Structure formats: C-alpha cells, structure tokens
C-alpha cells in the first residue's frame, strides 16, 4: 500500500513539474505560463507584449491581431487554473474593454543586468 501511495504522489509531482515549465516546441502543445511566476509585463506595440518571469526568463507574445488600446491602458486576464496559454486565451484592455486574442509565446532575450 505504501508503495502505491508513494508512486501516485511521485507521478503527480512529476506531472505538475512538467506543466510548470513552458513547453517550447509546437508539437508538445501550447506554451503556458503560470501566472504566479509572472513578475511584470511590458506592451511593446499594439501587436506585442513581453512577459517577464520571476526567474529572469522573458516570453514574447505576438497577438493574433493588433490591440490598439494596450499602449495606453494596460490589460487584465482571467484564468481557470492559474496559467495563461498562447493561442487559447484573451486579454482585456482595462479602460476600453477591448478583447485581444493571445498569439504564440516565444522566448525573448533576457535583459542585460545593470552595473
């Protein structure tokens, strides 16, 4: 009995760890970011949002279509499970309530440390 419980616990832990890291290859499914690991975001232009992670990684999302209100008003998102996935979710512009479909997440270069 102890072996079965330990095996189930180990399998659950391994599955959680696999999902916690963004998937980087298209054939593995969507790239999903845990929202609690997002430090901040930066809107580059109406098509591009950078997601800065607490571990220093940066993910670029190229929106499915331009989202004009992003440059001035910021955005919010709602999740069911604490993650935000590319090509599957939308963000909502705060003042205009414009709904913008996320596109693909791709790794972006990390910021250079300031000395």
pLDDT band at 11 (very low <50, low <70, confident <90, very high): very low
Domain ranges (residues) in the chain: 2-108
Tokens of 98: 């414009």
Tokens of 55: 């571990």
In what helix (H) or strand (E) does residue 100 lie, and over which residues does it extend?
Answer: strand 99-101
Q: Which residue has the tokens 């001035």?
A: 72
Q: Is the dihedral of CA 11, 14, 20, 21 positive or negative?
A: negative
pLDDT at 28: 73
Q: For 23-59, how does the pLDDT look when each residue is reduced to its tens digit (9 = 90+)?
A: 444 457 899 999 999 999 999 999 999 999 999 999 9
Contact 33, 77 (CB under 8 A): no
Three-state SS at 49: strand
Q: For the beta carbon of residue 83, count every other beta carbon within 10 angstroms.
A: 19
pTM over 0.75: no
pLDDT at 113: 54
Tokens of 70: 């992003």
pLDDT at 29: 83
Rg (CA), the chain: 17
Q: What is the mean pLDDT of the chain?
A: 80
């Amino acid at each position: 009995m102890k072996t079965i419980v330990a095996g189930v616990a180990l399998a659950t832990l391994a599955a959680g760890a696999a999902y916690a890291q963004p998937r980087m290859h298209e054939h593995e499914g969507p790239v999903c970011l845990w929202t609690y690991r997002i430090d901040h975001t930066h809107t580059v232009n109406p098509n591009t949002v950078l997601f800065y992670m607490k571990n220093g990684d940066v993910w670029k999302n190229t929106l499915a279509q331009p989202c004009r209100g992003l440059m001035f008003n910021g955005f919010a998102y709602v999740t069911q499970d604490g993650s935000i996935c590319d090509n599957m979710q939308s963000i909502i512009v705060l003042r205009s309530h414009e709904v913008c479909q996320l596109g693909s997440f791709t790794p972006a270069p990390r910021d250079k440390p300031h000395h």
